[in-house]
């Protein structure tokens, strides 16, 4: 027994697959919103932590005359995470340097074609970064930081994680463009 509404008489029936596209797009944009907000929040928190670690490094070295051996290395590894999470936000907001001259000069179908090429090239680059990031992660899984008993894999996990999140942001940017770069251009 079906409870689906019947179309009015004379209406052209819409295949079920046509209804899936807007729902899938909505699901993608919802996923993107959550992942981009999470990437932004975690990236900002990591940047604040890096600043605190840098301050501690200065205080321990110049005030206490006992330099901290682990803060500099941890700051470098956290910066990798900061950059990769920041890339997710930048891709989604359209704030990366792009071929905006071409986007500005074309309209209609040509603009969509240029946007598709940019999306394809971005996804290709991020796919390569994801692939080699997983490979690097696998290779360094038994190495530890010089000053801490922590696997190097935690630092390099930023590459595949950031790439995967950025791929979601790139696809969302393609379907729902936000062009902060073009809007803020002088």
15 within a domain of the structure (yes/no) = no
pLDDT the model gives residue 13: 47
**Span 97-120, pLDDT tens digits:** 766 677 778 888 888 898 899 899
Count of beta carbons in the 10 Å neighbourhood of residue 168: 21
In a domain, 10, yes or no: no
Angle, CA of 11, 5 and 25, to the nearest 5°: 85
What residues does 144 pair with on adjacent strands? 151
Residue 2 domain flag: no
Radius of gyration of the chain (CA): 23
Closest CA to 166 of 70, 93, 69, 67: 93
pLDDT tens digit string along 36-90?
999 999 999 999 999 999 999 999 989 988 988 888 889 999 999 999 999 999 9
Q: Is residue 186 part of a domain?
A: no
* pLDDT at residue 161 in the model: 96
- For residue 167, give its domain range: 25-177
End-to-end C-alpha distance for the chain, whole angstroms = 61
CA distance 78 to 134: 18
Residue 182 lies in a domain: no
In a domain, 30, yes or no: yes
Question: Which tens digit of pLDDT belongs to each residue from 164-181?
Answer: 999 999 999 988 888 765
Query: What is the count of structural domains for the chain?
Result: 1
């Amino acid at each position: 027994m079906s409870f689906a509404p019947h179309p009015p008489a004379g209406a052209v029936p819409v295949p079920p697959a046509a209804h899936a596209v807007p729902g899938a797009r909505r699901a993608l944009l919802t996923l993107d919103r959550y992942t981009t907000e999470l990437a932004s929040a975690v990236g900002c928190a990591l940047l604040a932590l890096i600043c605190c670690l840098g301050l501690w490094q200065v205080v321990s070295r110049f005030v206490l005359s006992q330099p901290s051996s682990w803060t500099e290395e941890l700051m470098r590894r956290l910066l990798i995470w900061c950059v990769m999470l920041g890339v997710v936000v930048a891709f989604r907001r359209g704030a990366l340097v792009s071929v905006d001259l071409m986007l500005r000069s074309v309209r209609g179908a040509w603009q969509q074609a240029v946007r598709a090429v940019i999306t394809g090239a971005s996804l290709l680059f991020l796919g390569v970064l994801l692939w080699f990031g997983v490979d690097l992660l696998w290779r360094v899984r038994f190495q530890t930081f010089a000053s801490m008993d922590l696997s190097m894999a935690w630092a390099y996990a930023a590459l595949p994680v950031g790439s995967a999140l950025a791929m979601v942001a790139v696809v969302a940017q393609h379907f729902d463009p936000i062009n902060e770069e073009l809007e803020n251009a002088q």
